[in-house]
Chain A
Amino acid sequence: MSSQLISSLISGIFISGVAGYLGTLMLSKKMSVVAGPLAHLAFPGVALALIFGFNISLGVFPFVIIGAILIWLLEERTKLPMENLAAIIFASGVGTALLFLPIDKAEEALIGSIEKITPLETIIVVILSLLVFYVIKRLYQKMMLMNVYEDLAVIEGINIRLYNLLYLLSIAVVVALGVYLVGGLITAALIAIPAASAKNISGGLQSYKTWAIVLGIISAITGIFIARFFHLPTGPMVVVSSVVIFLISVIFRKQSF
């Protein structure tokens, strides 16, 4: 196995694992689509990186994180649903990017470039994934209660503003990592699909979380290998694997939900 393949596999496993985990929270907040618009915010960053010739991820991270903070601020001020605000942020991101982005060079931003990831980038991906995993784990129960009924969360003494911000920042980091693996167009799939499959086959919170992580990782591994074997683009293949797993999960769906 080449060291390039190992780097791709390691980063693929970590990104898709943490994306699947985060997805379970986002699905229960009915905002798994938010990841899509946020990922599109990567495009202006990519445009700047291509124009000025620096590393694409340096362009992506600031934009996605600023986007998350904007959604947070706007939600506080307008009380509009987060998904609605994400659509606005999305439009502004893509709109600006299309003004400047050299479209013919933008393939990496569209479908990711995990097959070209360097060892150093892999280390950064692993560290960021672990960090976000830890943050999500810490806020998980509280966010879940907020999703169920926000007033109860307030009575339980949960600082809603703080947790919403941490939550959005976690989404931003995962989305930015997802842009690496599968590109801005389909990052939402990394987050939304494993959680949906897991929900189909699990009966409680613990198995739901575990399955989402496991299925995310399985689709990354199978996607990376199949893409390499048949010389297909990696990112899209990861997403297609994820969709196939979802279809299988529909067959095994537990009737209780």
Chain B
Amino acid sequence: MNTLLEVKNLNVNLDEERIIENLSFQITRGEFLTVLGSNGAGKTVLLRTLLGFLPYEGSITWHQKPKIGYLPQGLNQLKVKDFPLTVQDFFALKNPTPDLEEITTFLHLVGLEKDILLKTAGNLSGGQFQRMLVAWTLVSHPNVLFFDEPTTGIDIGGGETIYSLLRTIWEKEKLTIFLVTHDLNIVYKHSTNVLCLNRKGHHCFGAAKEILNPEMLEKVFGTEIKFYEHH
């Protein structure tokens, strides 16, 4: 098997509180993994740990050196409202700065026109900004993508297109994708594997159709979750 990442007995504490307990899983190259879990289950913490931002116990082994693209949770157009940055300026912050032709190619890929380059980044709509960020992430040709709830603050239709977009790019560029979401629909439609997290260490990992049954969901999310099977 073409294993990309191996996580063994991972424990992560934040401010003395255990957020991730005894988590083990493996990712093969080209996988589209959805990380699922209720609020506070440690999805973002897991991503940030894998990215090297947080201290941990256990082992995280990359079998090939990844070239990472990261779309963090909570970076939106309102966050950059205070910066006098046009979209083009925003791309120029990349290290090294991509050339204009390349930027335009990726803008087209995410469904944006070239004339957006001269607009102020903070004035884009939520959906436009998110697409722009996807292009921003992709322009340096990463082979592993970490997307943390990329549809936060976008209406349902907009969210759906972002996910189809990810799916298209995943198929086209042969990437490995880690997607954090708590949207169950996405899991069925797009991902190859699911990793579900909860604070008590009841994790599950496997193909969506195999592991996502009502019993498992109850374990992960608690009892209040209603489950509708997709046909």
Please give the residue numbers on chain A whose beta carbons come within 8 Å of chain B beta carbons, in ascending order: 28, 30, 141-142, 144-145, 147-149, 151-152, 154-158, 199, 202-208, 256-257
Q: Are B84 and A154 touching (Cβ within 8 A)?
A: no
Q: Are A151 and B53 touching (Cβ within 8 A)?
A: yes
Query: A250 to B61, alpha carbons, bound, how many Å?
Result: 55
Q: Are A142 and B95 touching (Cβ within 8 A)?
A: yes
Which residues of chain B have C-beta atoms less than 8 A from A149's C-beta?
Answer: 72, 75, 79
Known contacts A149-B79, A202-B84, A155 near B70 by CB under 8 Å = yes
Known contacts A28-B82, A152-B72, A202-B84, A145 near B93 by CB under 8 Å = yes
Q: Which of B51, B69, B79, B123 contacts A256 (CB 8 A)?
A: B123
Q: Which of B52, B93, B120 contacts A148 (CB 8 A)?
A: B93
Q: Are B95 and A204 touching (Cβ within 8 A)?
A: no
Q: Are B84 and A205 touching (Cβ within 8 A)?
A: yes
Known contacts A141-B95, A158-B95, A256-B120, A152 near B82 by CB under 8 Å = no
Query: A133 to B80, alpha carbons, bound, how many Å?
Result: 25
Query: A156 to B123, alpha carbons, bound, how many Å?
Result: 24
Please give the residue numbers on chain B whose beta carbons come within 8 Å of chain A beta carbons, in ascending order: 48, 51-53, 68-70, 72, 75, 79-86, 88-90, 92-95, 97, 118, 120, 122-123
Known contacts A141-B93, A149-B72, A257 near B51 by CB under 8 Å = no
Nearest Cβ on chain B to A195's Cβ, whole angstroms: 10
Which residues of chain A have C-beta atoms less than 8 A from B97's C-beta?
Answer: 141
Q: Are B83 and A204 touching (Cβ within 8 A)?
A: no
Query: A154 to B84, alpha carbons, bound, how many Å?
Result: 22
Known contacts A149-B79, A208-B84, A156 near B95 by CB under 8 Å = yes
Interface centre among B72, B79, B97, B118 (most CB of A within 10 A): B72
Query: A203 to B79, alpha carbons, bound, how many Å?
Result: 17
Q: Is the interface of A mostly helix, strand, loop or mixed?
A: helix
Beyond A144-B93, A204-B88, 18 additional contacts (C-beta under 8 Å) are: A141-B95, A145-B93, A148-B80, A148-B83, A149-B72, A152-B70, A154-B51, A158-B95, A202-B84, A204-B89, A205-B89, A205-B92, A207-B84, A208-B84, A256-B120, A257-B81, A257-B120, A257-B122
Query: A202 to B122, alpha carbons, bound, how many Å?
Result: 14
Known contacts A144-B83, A204-B85, A151 near B72 by CB under 8 Å = yes
Q: Are B95 and A157 touching (Cβ within 8 A)?
A: yes
Chain A residue at smallest Cβ distance from B93: A145
Q: Which of B72, B82, B92, B122 contacts A141 (CB 8 A)?
A: B92
Query: A205 to B122, alpha carbons, bound, how many Å?
Result: 13
Chain A residue at smallest Cβ distance from B92: A141
Interface centre among B53, B80, B93 (most CB of A within 10 A): B93
Which residues of chain A have C-beta atoms less than 8 A from B89's C-beta?
Answer: 204-206
Query: A145 to B75, alpha carbons, bound, how many Å?
Result: 12
Query: A145 to B91, alpha carbons, bound, how many Å?
Result: 10
Which residues of chain B have C-beta atoms less than 8 A from A206's C-beta?
Answer: 89
Which residues of chain A have C-beta atoms less than 8 A from B80's C-beta?
Answer: 148
Chain B residue at smallest Cβ distance from A199: B84
Query: A149 to B90, alpha carbons, bound, how many Å?
Result: 12
Q: Are B95 and A257 touching (Cβ within 8 A)?
A: no
Which residues of chain A have C-beta atoms less than 8 A from B93's C-beta?
Answer: 141-142, 144-145, 148
Chain A residue at smallest Cβ distance from B146: A155
Chain B residue at smallest Cβ distance from A158: B95
Q: Which of B53, B75, B86, B92 contacts A203 (CB 8 A)?
A: B86
